[in-house]
Structure 1
Amino acid sequence: MPTTASAQSSAQRRRRPSSSRRDDEAPIIPILARKVREVEAKSQRGKLGPTNRVKFQVIAFLVREERARVKADADIAEGSRAELLKRLDGVATILAKTAARDTSLIQLLEADQATSPVARRMRRDWLIESGAELAPDELIITDAKPQSAPVVPAALAERQVIPPQVESRQMANPFLAPDLSAPASKETPRRRLDGWELMGPLYKAFEMGAGGTSASMDLPPVPEYDRLSPKGLEVMVHQSRFLESVRGGHRTFLLADEPGLGKTAESVLAASVAEAYPLLVVVPNVVKMNWAREVERWTPNRRATVIQGDGEDVDAFADVFIVNYEILDRHLAWLSSLGLKGMVVDEAHFIKNLTSQRSKNVLALAGRIREQVRNPLLLALTGTPLINDVEDFDAIWRFLGWTTGEKPGSTLMAKLDETGLTPADKAFYPEARDAVISMGIVRRKKKDVAADLPDKLIADLPVELDDDFGRSIRQAERELGERLAARYRRIIEARGDRGLDANEIDTDIVRLVAQNELEESKAAGTGSENVFTMVRKIGQAKATLAADYTAQLQRAVGKVVFFAKHIDVMDAAEQHFAAAGISSVSIRGDQSTAARQQAIDSFNNDPDVGIAVCSLTAAGVGLNMQAASNVVLAELSWTAAEQTQAIDRVHRIGQDEPVTAWRIIAAHTIDTKIAELIDSKQGLAARALDGEAVDPQSSDSVQLSALMHLVRQALGGE
């Protein structure tokens, strides 16, 4: 892309119309003003995703280029020049304000940064819209040929291990059988939409819930005979239809059924149908043993091996390799050379952060599998794919090969091209959503496919923290709010009121103050008084009250699952249950896989075990605990998805009783606001995945929204 030094040539190639409208001397400025407002609006709802970051970058570049052109153009009168520069400064001010809200954008303000094909295409399209005449070399923009990145980055090379049995397997079969069905590489044909920036419109299509239908691809009808279920088991109707799609040749799926509908069994059987062995399954640590059991249960003729630690006990000749996210980094080398034919990523929302090593490891392995095998089986499993924003889809779509992050893959691009529409057409958005769904999104809700599954109710139980500890928490909350409000007032005084009414609160400054506090809190950890330490203290203050209610509930209804976020809250609850004479088991993140599975089995099968005390983060995914129908949430999560996952350990196929989740909420504290925010976040999935008519909600995180609430409350706004 040109740099600021090219402003002279930019001025020469643009021809202004002869009319005297206000924008004729710089027709790009209204376009930049409109685009920067779009970016600003998006940033006010949370950190910008990849598409809007590119847009921010291109706006910054064009502002610099246009400012240089206006200053150098001798044909512009001085009065007009001053007015144009003032308007460009207005755009630049909004950019700076947005960068202050999200400091990671500051590096994008450099003029020589916007060099990617996506950025160059975006710049070209805006200039053409403004009426500029571009040179031929600026009209045709080609993508750089993708470079095959190594699966094992240099930083992880020293950590790689090769289990002894893997060496034996490699010696027994030193050469991978070539995949003769893999097509020879060829140039991708140019398509009508090649010049359009498409990732933003694709996300927007889901954000709008365009089409108003559930995000689930068309599946074949149920086969006449069930030829897949082993003796004594039966595949359910919704599972059978999914497996028929695999039998028909479909190989990439975002299996987004609501938690509890049997995604594990579906995936195990899908591998059998597709003959996708060896198969790699990447899972949270807590469910490794359960996956091995499900492989043995549904495909008893296949062998599964669970990779622990450095893999000393791994069965290298197994069909299914099960590994948890935390240790995947040391097994990348041998897994990438094993000749995998398929890969399953369980709880795929774990990879949504593209900067995390966990996400990079998964994407690198998936890329290697696609290089080695034509049409491999790739399954992303998650009942909660969207946490805060529709761009949470990004990493999952990359894993499945549907997009590259910058643009759609060739198959999806062909589907979009076939619509005959562009993002300038309103009808493009429902068509684009349908195109992505047809790539392999499968989303079924419990009420639609398991009509006999009992109802689920979430009931809030407010508790008063009326002891000295509770009073100190409320005082600390007020002091935090006042500290943030004082910071807000200092910014307002330094900036000037900018036309604010007497009691008006500037939401942008509130968000800026809250964002700074959140970043400082994350950096400080538990060493200072902040929103995280405050919520932890609230959990500690509620611990005995929540445990006492759980004990009473257990005596009345039988088995109960007790969820808490912090270890000290779990410890206090277990001590309370022991003192009350109630037998309990504990499911935590620091347990061995065998100990955790033994605790789950004891809770489900031993009538003397009344309560399972579970970590909200370590036990909130993948476990089956239908022996209980009551859940107590002693502490609140920071995400709606985490809460849903926890409750659905009980509310799943096999449950015969109505399920009730009891949320223990500390009255007159920030706990109440957090519960409200969690509930508001449920609308994103309802709109994007289920096509429900739900008003868009802020994509701010619960932490940020909670801090903004404290600021407004201290300022008298709430």
Structure 2
Amino acid sequence: MKVASEKPFEIVYSLFSHEFLGILFESFAVQLDEKGRLSFAYQNISYKNAREFEGGIDDTDLELIRLMDSMQQEAIIKKFNVKNNKPKEFLRKVFEEGQQTQANKEIQKLIEDRLEITRAKILEKIKHKRLFEMGNDGNPVWKEIEIMPEKASVLFHFRRNEENTHYFPTIKYKSEKLEWQYKGSYLICHQPAWLVVDSRLFSFEKDVDGKKLLPFLNKKFIVIPKKVEESYYQKFVTQLLASFDVFAKGFEIKVERSDPQPILFLGDLPGNPTVDMFGKNTGIEEEEKMVFDLRFTYGDYTFRADQAKPTNVELEKNGDDYTFHKVVRDLDRETYYGDFLKSKGLPVRNGRFSMSKREAYDWIINHRPGLDELGIKIHQTSQDKGKKYFIGSAKINVKIHEKIDWFDVEATVTFGEYEISFLKFRKLLMKGKTEIQLPNDEVAIIPKSWFVNYGEIFSFMEEKEAEQGNFKLKKHHIALAQELEKGNLIKLSLSERLKKLKDFSSIDDYALSHYFKGTLRPYQKAGYNWMRFLNEYNFGGCLADDMGLGKTVQTLALLAMEKERSEGTTSLLVMPTSLIYNWELEAKKFTPKLRILIYTGTQRIKDCSQFGRYDLVLTSYGIARLDIEILKEFYFNYIILDESQAIKNPDSIISKAVIQLKSNHKLILTGTPVENGTMDLWSQMNFINRGLLGGQTAFKKQFLMPIEKKNDTDKIGKLNAMIKPFILRRLKSQVATDLPEKVVNVQYSTMTSEQESAYEDVKAYYRDKIIDELSIPGVSKKSLTLLRGLTQLRQLANHPKMVDEGYTGDSGKLEDVTYMVKSTVSEGHKVLIFSQFVRHLAIVKEFLCQEQIPFAYLDGATKDRQAQVTRFQEDPNIQVFLISLKAGGVGLNLTKAEYVFLLDPWWNPAVESQAIDRAHRIGQQNKVIIYKFITRNTVEEKIMALQERKMALAGELISTEESFIKSLSQEDISALLA
């Protein structure tokens, strides 16, 4: 009969017994009468038409209907009925014994398992719905079944006597005994059990298997004969005891309930010989493995972690007596221990875990405190070649105390109750030994972390003279000590002042000497303070500011104070030959009272006793290399190396020479402390603070190889921490607010001997020629000759190749320019290079191509002017722009440039200013640093001097080369060609 969905109805569920499939469920919509009662009008519904009754159906109903559809005979056989037989015929063939084959038996098993799973799902969801037994006439609401809201409990009884054992279950619901036998009770589902008793549906605690209740529906008990009781007890009762509550008479049940005791069993897993591709034994043993096996002990019983059963039962027979030992395990607690070990790198929760023997004992020692705190024991199950390994607690305590000139080191190493001689322990660690013999003949493994954490600082320690076993550490290793202190690896006692070295910005402000004539910018004053602080603690330092930030003036401020504080001492400044004149000029400007000796040239007096009459000796790396036997005899106050990358190769002659020099203090100056690799750093650091980074071989092993080959970030961090207090580097971008809009520097270059010879020949020729022409009336010819001569001399001052294509020698100015270009580019800056000579730009261009440095280029012949400008402005890879004066003096906007190199002096400084303003103009966010390259003892230097004098008199009236020439007097001409 159809049910009207627009009228009141109710969804109900009914169960019935199928001939072959057992108990099945169906869903129905039942019409309600005027009093709200179920009527005889009902309609079977499926998932397909359930939406017609959506006003009375919820999500649970939809899921129940879907599940019930899936267990109807048509749906259940669909997968197996490949020949499309009628459902009844197919089921009869599968279930009737006379027709069963092995294949049919397997199909029957699959069908029954699937139905059992579906029944369990339905019964779990049907708790709050109405359930009925279907009548024989198909009435779905014949008899209602009450679904009991709480779970019943089952107690299994065993009563043993001399002849047999009686076995039966009893059921309780809400603590009341339930009478369920001989009452027509039946099981709807077996796994888990759902039992109908007197139209009430019961479920059970502990998910009782219905097959254990089924035999007793119409039977009081089962009898187990004496002859099979031991087998029955072992196979059946032990399993029953493990899962359910049992009451017994005639045998004993002992229950163990306690906290689990975790034990890590440690055993050998020997390596096997490897076999090559032809199956031959290579004879190479794999690294020996150790196996961790987590187990839990409850009283006298031990269980492996991967055998995670809630209870375990063992049967003990003593004569004719039986005792069942039931252990109730705390799986949540066991999981906690397993998760803890996994978090420490030992994933043994689901079984064993292996690692190399070295790693295994290392792991134990490193984690022993945590294991002890949780009560996790370790048990060794094997010995290695008669060795017994120590598995106790290992500790290392290092204390470092500040003394006047060094740190005192106190260290204790303990394995369990044994304290090990630190002298012996350090030797083993330095040799890379991993095992140490204890007094009780156990062998302790030195933790790998101790090698990692303490390897460097132990290698830098020095044994005190006459105090064997007592160690000291040089003060310049303060940063390494502070880094270890930060990681709670050592205890460090420092004075408040020395703590400031971690951040030089908090260093005290020191007064400048009255011998210093000038003003330091704020960042330069900070650099001076830093050098003064290092001076007080006898630390060497590396001033590594960007090019153009004033390393020279900061150093002179320091030397001025040394003259004031240490009158009578002498400092030595070693540099490339080309910089000596620059230093001399800067010293005269900022420290005019300093007595300076220029110790260079073939006429130098090779006698170190003369040094004592001066405050500062300036010399070159070349002279230092040649005269090292003389220089090393004098004890200097300061030894300062400018452009210290000259000693980046520790095996070079110059490096081996300067390391022999003796002084109170050492300082190096460089804009590029690292040019090629990490060893550059070692060589320079070793000069200023001997032993700071250990020996050369040890440094390669501890730092260079891990950093350059493996990019080891931990080693990079540790190395940075060690050198940080002794290197002060400020980038141009960092101190931009302290810089004026433009910083102009004059870079003096020294001619090479070949260049000087070529220059002198041309100068002599024109001097004689012009002197002859001076006697001739009129100046036009004289002016032309002078202009031609001055131009050639200026070109020779740049590079003789500009005059003579066959010239094969070098140029002092080119060496300085190329060095500074490389420095600028390596620091990530952009530079404009101006020259009024296209041939000069061509020489620089050739260098850039050789070095594979990309560049933009602009001269009078350039067609794509704007494209070249755009490349320089927008392409970060284009850092160099070569520009000829006439082509680039006007009309360009090059605001990306931070440096301007003027390769040759121009007659009119206003033209120079125009070139500078290509970079320094509206829109420029960078401070611009200008370098004017002037070759010493040439017409360039003399033109500069004349310019200053003429400009002071005539303002900017001199605007061309011709007008400049015309303004020269005979005295001026003689000075230019002198």
Determine if the TM-score, normalized by the shorter chain, exceeds 0.5: no
Larger radius of gyration: 2
Q: Please report the TM-score for the alignment, with normalisation by the length of structure 1.
A: 0.37
Higher helix share: 1
Q: Please report the TM-score for the alignment, with normalisation by the length of structure 2.
A: 0.29
